[in-house]
Amino acid sequence: MPGGGEWILIFVVVLLLFGGKKIPELMKGLGKGIREFNNARNSIEEEIQEGMREVEKKKVNEPK
């Protein structure tokens, strides 16, 4: 992970490349991307858990 000085350098480079007006738009897009990623991850986790519950139900309901 970058240290404090490295983060400052990265911020300065981003500021020079995109300018002060583009940074809020960039951060907004980044936030939307992270939110969509988390929603997709949660959806996949729920599907996996549902599948595991169905398998457990089948095991319990099988005649012995």
The answer to the question of residue 4 being in a domain is no
Entry field: residues in the chain: 64
The answer to the question of residue 51 being in a domain is yes
d(CA 36, CA 28): 12
Domain count, the chain: 1
The answer to the question of residue 13 being in a domain is no
Domain range enclosing 58: 22-64
The answer to the question of residue 60 being in a domain is yes
> What pLDDT does residue 1 have?
75
The answer to the question of residue 5 being in a domain is no
- CA triplet 27, 28, 30: central angle to 5 degrees? 60
- Model pLDDT for residues 23-46, shown as the tens digit of each residue: 888 889 999 999 999 999 999 999
pTM metric for this prediction: 0.59
The answer to the question of residue 52 being in a domain is yes
Residue 2's pLDDT band (cuts 50, 70, 90): confident
